[in-house]
Amino acid sequence: MLQITNLSASIDDKKILNGFNLKIKPGEIHAIMGPNGSGKSTLANVLTGKNGYQVEGQVLYQGKNLLDLPIEERAQKGLFMAFQYPLEIAGVNTNNFLKTSLNTVRKVRGLKELDSLDFLNLIKTKTKNLKIDEKILNRQLNVGFSGGEKKKNEILQMTILEPKLAILDETDSGLDIDAMKIVSDGVNSLRSKDRSFLIITHYQRLLDYIKPDFVHVLVDGKIAKTGCSELALELEKVGYGDMEPTSR
Amino acid sequence: MKQSTINPSEEYKYGFTTDIESIRAPKGLNEDVIKFISNIKREPGWMLEWRLKAYARLKNLKEPNWQKPKYPKIDYQDLYYYSAPKSSENKPKSLDEVDPRLIETYNKLGISLKEQEKLSGVAVDAVFDSVSVATTFKDKLTEKGIIFCPISEAIQKHPDLVKKYLGSVIPITDHYFATLNSAVFTDGSFVYIPQGVRCPMELSTYFRINASETGQFERTLIIADKGSYVSYLEGCTAPMRDENQLHAANVELVALDDAEIKYSTVQNWYPGDKDGKGGIYNFVTKRGACRGNSSKISWTQVETGSAITWKYPSCILQGDNSIGEFYSIAITNNYQKADTGTKMIHLGKNTKSKIISKGISAGHADNTYRGLVRIGSKANNSRNFTQCDSLLMGNKCGAHTIPYIENKNSSSNTEHEATTSKINEEQLFYCNQRGLNQEEAVSLIVNGFCKEVLQQLPMEFAVEAQKLVGISLEGSVG
């Protein structure tokens, strides 16, 4: 699914990722943990193609060179990111945004675009399954949403777009237990043998609900340690303090 | 003839020229040319006198110069004031007699002059340079007593109405361009809705400039008699040329007791090329009088075209409890300039006005909102609400908001809100991450920004306008 080799990224000559390596196979869930400033969000941004980074190294996504593709093509090919801070867009109806997004992606994938009625049926099912209040659909995209509503909206978008690889960038930060449950239910419901997840988080909490196959600890722009889900619990106790950057 | 037409491109698909033989007035502005226009339109003597009076007045007027967009001096003697297809010389009596090349031109513009075809709920008056070439659904409207015809025809057939109302909202002594229009106006639409009648379909006029070196001087007059209602829409396009062409229109609206006029504009004149060469000077005077009690006039404009847009569709709220509204989207890209807004003049008691203006500026463009809210001393309990939002794309464009507020009545109040924002890289990234490309993302964000105004358009045109908003900004984000 995804193979990252010797990835470096800097902003204004400040190196943030430095010799980062990671391989994600179809169906796997990887969690990336690490202290603030270790490069977690940069990793998500570089993979999705956000501007402003000088990037070196190689990233293969489904066997193709990911770094050459514009942002929207990466998305159309099934790469999705749940944003840490979802953006507010005034005047744009949430329902419309989701429909436009889904139909753009469907068109590229050679599928028939959904008309309003089909889409409505789909979204009603999804919101119901996720226990998300349908009312957010008729509001302006993320405008005036609470932190929890914004994150739920990200998960809703994820379940609608059915990505191949979903990156969750600190989706759990600032969530209460109920919202956390919705987020993890969303991920668990999508879990399948050909879909992978990269879950970026600062806390272990989310991993009580989503069982990762691997946990990586990111320190100073590279993976300092890799383990199974117990590693997360261990980190919760001892913190990141004594974590020395080592090669994997 | 120095007619140079640039190839129509993707960005401005209306930029073609119709190759058609035309009749022109001799070049220049003088009494003979005015007599030529009046004569070719077979106008009665009083109309010619009216024009000449305006012309006499014009000689003592100076072109205004307070506007923000400056332009090179216009040589008024180097323009044609009348140009019309030769085939329209003997006014065609029905659509079958209209030159097929003209019908084809309108088809290419997406305007069907065949009544059976789509947009069957819309009656169209098609103005080509200086003449109206066809008006649809006339018979159906006549059944209800509605008059919808070219103003040149109304001058002949309904002189009493024209005499009573023409110039009653924009006097011939008004400013330079309005007075110029009064002297040389050629065609435009005339609408009269009788007492108590709700016009059963949208009325619309489609203005097309075709001839080069020619000014278009549109004149439109709409009268809504007591308790009547009408929704009217105008659209405009022109060929791509590297000369600037002048469109100086006068539009007058009169709403009597309990009447309502909804006037919408989708202005897509040729905006000039990427370097600011060519394009229409859209210098227009639009003014509505809410003359009767509880009358209402609502202006909605989507201004995407023209090299310079300079207009302030206004409401004079004379009747008690009358309402004026102005909803505007002005988009300027490349080197386009706009200085637009409204005037709300509150004279009657309990009058209300609402102004929603959305300015979008990209490239090297400059966009000014200029608006006057005046509450007279007798306008007790009057209210105004103004909201002006500007959206900037890139860092070479400008946005300005210039509100003038004059309140002479202590029981009345005005509210003004203004915001300026930039299209945000993060928002674009978010949309891109959901699979939308840059242009789709910009179109989505801008349409969201304009939503309050787009909602005001008649449904038949709202979709078209949404697309236009996207297209006008193509290439504006690198």
* pLDDT over 90 (residue B89): no
B389, B421, B434: best to mutate for the A interface, most A CBs within 10 A:
B434
Mean pLDDT of B416-427: 88
Q: Which residue of B has its CA nearest to A86?
A: B430
3-state secondary structure of B162: helix
Cβ pair A72:B451 closer than 8 A: no
Residue written as tokens 């103004």?
Answer: B386
Q: Which residue has the higher pLDDT, B140 or A86?
A: A86
pLDDT, chain A, mean: 90
pLDDT of residue A92: 92
Contacts of A76 in chain B (CB under 8 A): 435
Q: Give DSSP secondary structure letters for chain A.
A: -EEEEEEEEEETTEEEEEEEEEEE-TT-EEEEE--TTSSHHHHHHHHHT-TT-EEEEEEEETTEEGGGS-HHHHHHTTEEEE-SSPPP-TT-BHHHHHHHHHHHHHHHTTPPPP-HHHHHHHHHHHHHHHT--GGGGGSBTTTT--HHHHHHHHHHHHHHH--SEEEEESTTTT--HHHHHHHHHHHHHH-BTTBEEEEEESSSGGGGTS--SEEEEEETTEEEEEE-THHHHHHHHH-STT------
- DSSP class of residue B408 equals -
Query: Do B245 and B217 contact (CB within 8 A), yes or no?
Result: no
Whether the predicted pLDDT of A247 surpasses 50: no
Q: What is the pLDDT of residue A243?
A: 63
Nearest residue of A to residue B436 by CA position? A72
- The SS3 call for residue B389 is strand
pLDDT (0 to 100) of residue B477: 65
Determine the 3-state secondary structure of B281 from DSSP. strand
Neighbours of A42 (CB within 10 A): 22
**Based on C-alpha coordinates, what's the Rg of chain B?**
21
A41, A47, A76, A87: best mutation site toward chain B, by most B Cβ within 10 Å?
A87
Check residue A55 and give its pLDDT. 95
User: Residue A123 above 50 pLDDT?
Assistant: yes
Confidence bin at B92 (pLDDT 50/70/90): low
Q: What is the rounded CA–CA span in Å between residue A212 and residue A210?
A: 6
Distances (CA, A) of B101 to A44, B95, B127, B346: 58, 12, 14, 47
Look at residue B115 in the predicted model and tell me its pLDDT: 61
Query: Which tokens is B256 given?
Result: 């009597």
pLDDT, residue A25, reads 95
Q: What is the mean pLDDT of residues A23-37?
A: 92
Q: What is the model's pLDDT at position A37?
A: 85
pLDDT greater at residue B4 or residue B76: B76
Q: What is the pLDDT of residue B3?
A: 37
**Rounded distance between C-alpha atoms, residue B371 and residue B328, angstroms:** 12
Q: Which residue of A has its CA nearest to B455?
A: A91
- Please tell me the predicted confidence (pLDDT) of residue B466: 83
* Dihedral of alpha carbons B432, B435, B439, B445, sign: negative
The complex's ipTM works out to: 0.94
Does pLDDT of B9 surpass 70?
A: no
Question: Who has greater pLDDT, B384 or B215?
Answer: B384
Q: Which residues contact B395 (CB under 8 A, 6 or more apart)?
A: none
Which residues on chain A place their C-beta less than 8 Å from a C-beta of chain B? 48-51, 70-72, 75-76, 80-81, 83, 86-87, 89-92, 97, 100-101, 104-105, 108, 140-141, 157, 161
Mean pLDDT, range B220-248, rounded to an integer: 91
DSSP for B117-158, please give it.
Answer: SS-TTEEEEEEETTEEEEE-SHHHHHHTT-EEEEHHHHHHH-
- Report how far residue A146's alpha carbon sits from residue B343's, in angstroms, rounded to the nearest whole number: 40
* Residues B256, B263: Cα–Cα separation, whole Å: 15
Q: What is B44-101 written as a DSSP string?
A: -HHHHHHHHHHHHHHTT------SSS--PPP-GGGSBS-EEEGGGSS--SSGGGS-HH
B448 vs A contacts (CB less than 8 Å):
89-92, 140-141
Residue B21 has pLDDT above 90, yes or no: no
Tokens of A171: 């989706």
The tokens of A87 are what?
Answer: 């953006």
From A42-51, A204-213, B40-49, B459-468, the region with the lowest mean pLDDT: B459-468
CA-atom Rg of chain A in angstroms? 18
Average pLDDT of the segment spanning B18-37 = 89
Which tokens go with B238?
């022109």
- For residue B451, the chain A residues in CB contact (below 8 A) are 91-92
B427–A70: do the CB atoms touch at under 8 Å? no
CA quadruple B442, B448, B450, B456: dihedral sign? positive
For residue B438, list chain A residues with Cβ-Cβ distance below 8 A.
72
Q: Which of B320, B314, B199 is nearest to B253 (CA)?
A: B314
pLDDT(A246) > 80: no
pLDDT band at B5 (very low <50, low <70, confident <90, very high): very low
**pLDDT tens digits for range B240-299:** 888 888 999 999 999 999 999 999 998 888 888 888 888 999 999 999 999 999 999 999
Q: Which of B429, B436, B448 sits opposite A101 (nearest CB)?
A: B436
Residue of B427, B433, B446 for testing the chain A interface, max A β-carbons within 10 Å:
B433
b/e for B396-408, b at 16 or more Cβ within 10 A?
A: ebbbbbebeeebe
User: Chain-centre distance of CA A231, in angstroms?
Assistant: 21
pLDDT-based confidence at residue B194 (cuts at 50, 70, 90)? very high
Could you tell me the two tokens for B340?
């637009």
State the Cα–Cα distance between residues A60 and A48, nearest whole angstrom. 13
DSSP B241: B
Q: pLDDT band for position B136 (50/70/90)?
A: confident
Q: How far apart are alpha carbons B138 and B148 in whole angstroms? A: 7
d(CA B128, CA B101): 12
The 10s digit of each residue's pLDDT in B319-328 is: 999 999 999 9
Give me the residue from A71, A90, A157 closest to B429, CB to CB.
A71
Q: How far apart are CA B125 and CA B122, in angstroms?
A: 10
Q: Span B174-181, mean pLDDT?
A: 95
* CA separation for the pair A175, B435 (Å, rounded): 27
Which chain A positions have a beta carbon within 8 Å of B452's beta carbon?
Answer: 91
As a whole-number percent, the residues of chain A with pLDDT over 90 amount to 72
pLDDT at residue B94 greater than cutoff 50? yes
- Residue B6: predicted pLDDT: 42
Q: Which residues of B touch A (CB under 8 A)?
A: 424-427, 429-438, 440, 444-445, 447-452
β-partners of residue B380 are: none
Q: Is A75 close to B433, i.e. CB distance below 8 A?
A: yes
b/e code B75-102 from CB counts within 10 Å (16+ = b):
eeeebbbbbbbebbeeeeeeeeebbeeb
Q: What is the pLDDT of residue A242?
A: 62
* B377, B346 contact by CB (below 8 A): no
Identify which has the larger pLDDT, B112 or B456: B456
* pLDDT surpassing 90 at residue B351: yes
Cβ neighbours for A224, distance < 8 A, ≥ 6 positions apart: A217, A218, A243, A244, A245, A246
Residue of A nearest to B443 (CA): A92
Residue from B430, B437, B447, B450 whose CB has the most chain A CBs within 10 Å, to mutate: B430
- Which among B426, B435, B445 is the nearest to A104, CB-wise? B435
The Cα–Cα gap between A57 and A6 comes to 5
Cα→Cα distances A218→A50, A82, A88, B292, Å: 20, 19, 30, 74
Chosen CATH of A2-238 out of 3.40.50.2300, 3.20.20.140, 3.30.420.40, 3.40.50.300 = 3.40.50.300
Min Cα–Cα distance to chain A from B354, Å: 19
For residue B7, pLDDT over 50 is answered with no
User: Cβ separation of A83 and B430 shorter than 8 Å?
Assistant: yes
Of the partner residues A92, A105, A140, the one whose CB lies closest to the CB of residue B435: A105
Alpha-carbon gap: B74 to the closest alpha carbon of chain A (Å): 41
Out of B433, B445, B450, closest to residue A89 by CB = B445
β-sheet bridge partners, residue B149: B190
Instruction: Tell me phi and psi for residue A15, to 5 degrees.
Output: -75, 125
pTM attached to this predicted model: 0.86
pLDDT beyond 50 at B2? no
Tens of pLDDT, residue by residue over A139-151, are: 999 999 999 999 9
